[in-house]
Structure 1
């Protein structure tokens, strides 16, 4: 092995070590956030049942109900309206179900965007349920209103705000 002209020179010095930035300790998840998470999961479960209910709708039964409601629609219009009704009975709860599941887990982890997402979709579902356009029975409507309202409130009260700010 041959030695070169630089073999005896010292190695260059290492770059200076920066003191590590002290990270704020992660706040423990407050009980209010955990309860809000489970309330959101309960809302998602109710919405899943609603999707299943929409899938079980019979087109002929819907057409018959529209005929009895004396909507003044012709045969082809009744068929189209029944199809639209069934599609919306499945699609609307499915959209809200996806939003609640997509937001619940990140919200529990302290992601503020998820809290906002759940607030927006929860508020919209709350309004639709109160207006009666969600198609839910009165018992289901009352349950949804209570679950959504409590989840939204719990995401903002007590230690919840500090938890989301610390993330």
Structure 2
């Protein structure tokens, strides 16, 4: 069996893991976008921390406080999507990297007060990770490695 044939026929477990990581990524982005709706809360926190700050500076800092986390989330999402496609192509290094990211994501839930989106994203990523290590997934990745 050629690498091309293997890539065209990933098992259901890999396809489910792939879609699971896609759903996890979308829910994480949704959570990050909630920051855009938290402008008043961010401004109030900054105002309390810096009582004498001029209004224009407070506005700029509030905007920065919204945009930086969203930009970071978008970059992470792009990397996550790229890794998801590499997993679907049978790359073990992508599976391992996604596993590490999922473990870090789970650890972050234990150390913060997670949003609903973060909890959903992590839960789906955990399920996708498990699917990526089931026997059909292992056989597929081993087959791609042998053919490659």
Q: Does 1:152 pair with 2:132?
A: no
TM-score scaled by length of structure 1? 0.66
TM-score scaled by length of structure 2? 0.73
Partner of 1:6: none
- Paired with 1:125 and 1:50, the residues of 2 have a C-alpha distance of 13
Aligned-pair CA distance for 1:97: 1.0
Contact 2:6-2:143 within 8 A present in 1 as well: yes
- Paired with 2:52 and 2:94, the residues of 1 have a C-alpha distance of 45
Partner of 2:25: 44
Query: What SS is found at the alignment partner of 2:6?
Result: coil
Matches within 5 A, 1:51-90: 51-58=32-39, 60-67=40-47, 71=49, 75=53, 79=58, 82-90=62-70
Give every structure 1 segment of 4 or more consecutive aligned residues whose post-TM-superposition deviation is greater than 6 Å.
Answer: none
Q: Tell me which of the two structures has the higher relative contact order, counting C-alpha pairs closer than 8 angstroms and 6 or more residues apart.
A: 2
Contact 1:47-1:94 within 8 A present in 2 as well: no
Q: Which has the larger radius of gyration?
A: 1
For structure 2, the residue ranges without an aligned partner over 5 or more in a row are: none
- Over the residues paired in the alignment, what is the CA RMSD in angstroms? 3.0
- Paired with 1:157 and 1:84, the residues of 2 have a C-alpha distance of 43
For residues 31-52 of structure 1, what are the alpha-carbon distances to aligned partners after superposition, in whole Å with 9 as ceiling and x for unaligned? 2111111110101111221343
- Paired with 1:57 and 1:123, the residues of 2 have a C-alpha distance of 28
For structure 1, the residue ranges without an aligned partner over 5 or more in a row are: 1-21
Which structure shows the higher helix fraction?
2
- Paired with 1:30 and 1:130, the residues of 2 have a C-alpha distance of 33
Task: Find 1:92's aligned residue among 60, 72, 75.
Answer: 72
Count of residues paired in the alignment = 139
For residues 121-150 of structure 1, what are the alpha-carbon distances to aligned partners after superposition, in whole Å with 9 as ceiling and x for unaligned? 2222222233227xx42x323312211111
Partner of 1:17: none
Relative to structure 1, the CA distance from residue 23 to residue 84 in structure 2 (aligned partners, 3 Å threshold; closer, same or farther) is closer
Contact 2:42-2:62 within 8 A present in 1 as well: yes
